[in-house]
Amino acid sequence: MEKQNIFDLSKEELSEVIKPSFRAKQIYQWLYQKYVTSFDEMKNLPKDLKEQLNATYYLDPLRIVKVEESRDGSKKYLFALKDGSTVESVLLPMKQEQTDEDGKLVHHTRYTICISSQVGCKIGCAFCLTGKSGFKRNLTVGEITSQILMIKRDNAIAENRRVNIVYMGMGEPLDNLTNVSKAVRIFNDLDGLSISPRRQTISTSGLSSQIEKLGKMDLGVLLAISLHAVDDELRQTLMPINKAYNIESIINAVKAFPIDARKRVMFEYLVMKGVNDDQKSAKKLVKLLHGIKSKVNLIYFNPHPGSDFGRPLEKDMVAFQQYLVDHGVLCTIRQSKGLDISAACGQLKDKEEKHDNA
């Protein structure tokens, strides 16, 4: 019998096959809180149950192929899956550990982890390296959740240290909605990593019908829209998906999406030199977001080999931001991390594959 990835199972599903059912809670705590790498490490389980687990499940859906670490502390991971495919994840330190004048800890380092949801991507955005390699398959639930586990384990991030999760890596999360939504619930399990949905952000290229489905699930997650253009003509050039889901349909879906009163919908706007960095675009964006409780995140485009687009000038980014702020739109400029490593999404995977084929 072929073994199953145990991380594909929710605690409830595990309790249906493991008896007595309280053992499922114990197993979950070993997996998600103690980061064990074998069933034999689960000391409070009887020998026959360990044997059953070893015969039925495996614990290593991912293998670290390569890690690149930036001077700013960010790390990009390339993971190999069981079928030989590879995906990327990124660890981003957002706030460093701080101590007071007496050396007492004020707060721990705060991390955001960016994870992938697919091998490749169907969307085919003109600026994205991931899409150039095509689409292979959806990641399973366990392949999604294991990215967080392995990065926490590799960096000795304690179980009770919460991280923020962004589904902004390789792939379109809403094209794998069933598995992504299950991963959200598993992350939130109190016997697991206990990561609140409010700490989980799902980013989408704008699949309007899937945004509506996600909203009806009412998971409590945050929503981010990869907008990148303010009119359909340009957006369709940059993102062919706009033919099926135009800007109007996205805005309508966002307006119906349930958002915590303290939160906002994030609109990600990848700024490319001479393409979408002008004041005319900023003016259109203000008009487009009118009436939406939103936040705009301006992102410097990170050029990669073969890219047709360039990094915008700092003065143009600042001017764009200032126009939005002056007209009542909350706007930040994302501080680029990992510029001294393979920063662009899919770049480490692409570089490693070219090296292997050389």
Residue 80: the pLDDT is: 98
- Element counts in the chain: helices (H) and strands (E): 11, 16
Active centre residues (catalytic): 88, 345
CB 344 within 8 A of CB 129: yes
HEC profile of 291-306: CCCEEEEEEECCCCCC
CB 260 within 8 A of CB 289: no
172 three-state secondary structure: coil
Which tokens belong to 127?
A: 């600026």
DSSP 73: S
**If we measure between CA atoms, which residue out of 218, 111, 97, 95 comes closest to residue 166?**
111
Q: Which neighbouring-strand residues pair with 112?
A: 92, 164
Residues near 78 by beta carbon (within 8 Å), at least 6 away in sequence: 64, 65, 66, 67, 86, 87, 88, 348, 349, 352
DSSP 176: G
Residue 61, preceding peptide bond in cis (omega within 30° of 0): no
Interhelix angle 279-288/314-326, nearest 10 degrees? 30
- Amino acid letter, 346: G
Which tokens belong to 180?
A: 């992504």
CB 187 within 8 A of CB 195: yes
pTM of this prediction? 0.90
CA distance 147 to 115: 7
End-to-end Cα spacing for the chain: 38
Integer-rounded Cα radius of gyration of the chain: 21
Residue 131: the pLDDT is: 77
Whose structure tokens read 């001077």?
71
Displacement of CA 292 from its chain's centroid (Å): 23
Residue 108: the pLDDT is: 64
Alpha helices by DSSP H, the chain: 11-17, 22-32, 47-56, 141-154, 177-188, 208-217, 232-238, 247-255, 279-288, 314-326, 347-357
DSSP 190: T
Residue by residue, DSSP assigns 33-46 as TS--SSGGG-TTS-
DSSP 139: P
Residue 357: the pLDDT is: 54
CB 180 within 8 A of CB 148: no
Q: What is the pLDDT along the chain (358 residues), one digit of tens a residue?
A: 799 999 999 999 999 999 999 999 999 999 999 999 999 999 999 999 999 999 999 999 999 999 999 998 999 999 999 999 999 999 999 866 555 565 665 556 899 999 999 999 999 999 988 877 789 999 999 999 999 999 999 999 998 888 999 999 999 999 999 999 999 999 999 999 999 999 999 999 999 999 999 999 999 999 999 999 999 999 999 999 999 999 999 999 999 999 887 899 999 999 999 999 999 999 999 999 999 999 999 999 988 787 889 999 999 999 999 999 999 999 999 876 666 665 556 556 555 655 565 5
Strands 330-334 and 294-300: what pairing?
parallel
